[in-house]
Amino acid sequence: MNAAVKRARVLLAAVPVAVAACAARGGQPAPVAEAPCVPVDAVALAGTPWDSLAGEWRLTLVATRGPMAGRSVWGILSLRPQEPGLRRMDRPGPNLVTVPLVGTSDIRLEEVAAVRMGNLGSSDPSRPGASVWVSQGADGIVSGVLRLGQEEIGSRLQPFDAGYTALYLRRVGVSGIYGGWASGTPEEVAAGHFCAVRATR
């Protein structure tokens, strides 16, 4: 094989590498594989900086029970700090209940047989499409629920027979929110686990 042929083969072999490098720098970024959404163990939520969770999240619901078991759906969840006058709930019971975050979502709940209650796109702070509820007991134990569906904020009445889609927070951080979910009217019709990671769109 002469020297000219060898040089040609070296140049041709380098072309895909050069093209990939140009695409990464000047074109679309190379796709990054997302980690699968799997169940996680619960950790203590005391001290969670709730306001730091404001922003856009890619929310994935995985159904493990119900007519759509084995399916999953994702959508964008947008959260923002709740207005100061609507943060603390005056409801009966020993626990302090607050709503630090409200927002909207475009997730298609029907694809995992979850119940849609009202407009998930509502940005009304008194009836938002999504809301984070935090309960703290006298023993210091903190629990959190992300409700998807319009919830009456500020009402002293606790609904017991309404439909619901509730995401139970088990692990919360500034880059990820994880837990389980259930939905019903009011009996449970579907359930599973969820993952939310910061949206990059």
Cis peptide before 29 (omega within 30 of 0): no
Q: Which of 123, 169, 129, 133 is nearest to 148 (CA)?
A: 129
pLDDT of residue 162: 76
Nearest-10 Cα torsion for 61, 65, 67, 72 = 20
SS3 content of the chain, % helix, strand, coil (to 5): 15, 40, 45
Tell me if the pTM is above 0.85: no
For residue 28, give both structure tokens. Answer: 């679309």
Amino acid making up residue 140:
G
**What is the structure's pLDDT at 176?**
96
Can you give the pLDDT at residue 14? 38
In angstroms, rounded to a whole number, what is the distance separating the alpha carbons of residues 197 and 80?
15
- 12, amino acid identity: L
pLDDT at residue 26, rounded to an integer:
34
Q: Are 129 and 122 in contact (CB under 8 A)?
A: yes
Per-residue pLDDT, 31: 40
For 196, other C-beta atoms within 10 Å of its C-beta total: 26
Across the 201 residues of the chain, what is the mean pLDDT of every consecutive 10-residue run? Answer: 44 35 35 76 95 97 98 98 94 88 98 96 97 94 96 67 90 95 96 96 61
**Residue 161: predicted pLDDT:** 57
Of residues 32, 71, 77, 39, the one with CA closest to residue 58: 77
Q: Given this model, what pLDDT does residue 200 score?
A: 84
52: closest CA among 81, 28, 75, 73? Answer: 81
